[in-house]
Amino acid sequence: QVQLVESGGGSVQAGGSLRLSCSPSLIISRLNHMAWFRQRPGQGREGIAALSTTPEFVASTYADSVKGRFTISQDTAKNTLYLQMDGLKPEDTGLYYCASSGGNWYLPLNVNEYNNWGQGTQVTVSS
């Protein structure tokens, strides 16, 4: 079981930026791929960004709702996954989760692809 610890959530005005961090208990390159999900009030958990964390396979993908505004990345030296969020909108408000998968890059934004989850960090964007 991989432990994932998120940080970096908070409150910001529309148009602002936040950077979320996720620190896994295992070496990030051994996790195959990781992703960020969010759960907006009254809605299910949706995948917004995913990244292959193995050096042999380079890939990333984004949900249309965040494409061009959010960037997923990793720092192998710090063993940390990031989500840089720019141009935040009130509809980005929600609980953000980090997740990891030991499986293949098949449906990387599908919640069922992931078996390890962080505790979540709240992001609130005011208008």
Cα distance between residue 39 and residue 123, in whole Å:
10
Per-residue confidence at 68, pLDDT binned at 50, 70, 90?
Answer: very high
Contact 14, 109 (CB under 8 A): no
* 1 has a pLDDT exceeding 90: no
pLDDT tens digits along 97-117: 999 998 888 899 999 999 999
**Higher pLDDT residue, 97 or 53?**
97
- Nearest C-alpha neighbor of 117 from the set 24, 11, 53, 19: 24
Q: Which residue has the tokens 């602002």?
A: 16
- Nearest C-alpha neighbor of 100 from the set 113, 116, 85: 116
Cα distance between residue 106 and residue 113, in whole Å:
8
* 5 has a pLDDT exceeding 90: yes
